[in-house]
Structures are given as C-alpha cells and as structure tokens.
Structure 1
C-alpha cells in the first residue's frame, strides 16, 4: 500500500474518531464543506483544484490526501493539478514577499 493510500485510511479513522468525540463540531465542519458546493457555481473539478492548492499553502497533509483523491475522482489531469500547484507556489512566494516587507517595517519601528 502506498503512503498516500495509507494516509487516506488513517485520515478516515482519525476524523471518524474525532466525530465521535465532538459530534457538534464535526457536523458543523461537514455543513461548512457542503455549503462550499451548494450553489453549484464551481464544478467539482475546479472546486478540488482550488482546495488542493489551498491545502498546499496551509501545509495540511490530510487536506492534500482528501483533495488529491477528490480531484482525481472529479477528472482532474496531472497537468491541471500541476497548474493549480504552480499557482499555490507563486502565492506562497508572494505572501513571503509581502510579509518580509512587514517584518522590515516592524524592525524599523521597534
């Protein structure tokens, strides 16, 4: 079994355990996730490409696991995944650039 397949199995177990321990929060999270798809403006593939790029920028292995699988299921190609991840890389670089300016401002003010 590959490490990502194993991670998916572990993720399902762990979130299932959390759902039993804190049902209201688990239900609220599920409602929030469902609400992101409710209006149908984004098709499933686009939704998952965005989610995967965000998962990378937030460094969430569980999110990467779930959304990579969902993107594949929604028909995303490797080229589409790579393009979305390229956007995530650029965004992280941009955020570091902006926050570097903020760090210099803080240094100068303090």
Structure 2
C-alpha cells in the first residue's frame, strides 16, 4: 500500500482546473464554500484540517486526503495529533457499522417475518 500523495494532489489540481472549464459556476461556488469555512471564527485552521482528515478517511476520498494532509501540515498539525484524529475516524466508522447493523437486522426482521 504505497500511494504517491504529491502526485495525487497535483492530479487533483489538474483535474479540478479541467472541471472548472466545464462547470465554472459550480466550481466557483465550491471554492466560495471552502473559503467561508476557512474564515471560521471558533476553530483554528489546524483543528479544521484535523477534522477534515478524519472526514476524508471516513468518506474514503484520496483527493481529500492529499489536499487536507498538505493543509494540516501547513497549519502546524503534528503526526501525533493527526493519528489521534484518525483514531476518532476509525472509532466512528466502527460505530457507524454497529448502528447500521442494528438497522439491517431490524429491516431483515420486519421484511422477512
């Protein structure tokens, strides 16, 4: 399991530029959304990026991982802080599987008998 994350980030930028030519209004709106989040008044940039990394992992988004890993590093996040945030993501995914397992069992019971 070895990815070239700088290449992933570079390719994301190139792909994003191409997409912006096709749907400029959507990409501008997406950029404005990110800019608004970056102007947060309570959470600092490092905390926002650690949250972003945890979300990127739970949504399985390689582009998000590459972008937010770079941003987290730039914001001063330590490897230890990132590892702790990723631990929360792991716990959440396991928790989500637990919750949805109870729903699946309930659906099976309701629909099968």
**Could you state the TM-score of these two structures normalised by the residue count of structure 1?**
0.95
**Deviation per residue, 1:24-73 (Å, 9 max, x gap):** 10011111111112232111100100000000000000000000000001
Q: How many residues get paired?
A: 109
Tell me which stretches of 4 or more aligned residues in structure 1 moved more than 3 Å.
none
Please list every run of 5 or more consecutive structure 2 residues that lacks an aligned counterpart in the other structure. Answer: none
2:9 aligned partner: 8
Whether 1:62 and 2:63 are equivalent positions in the alignment is: yes
5+ long unaligned stretches in structure 1: none
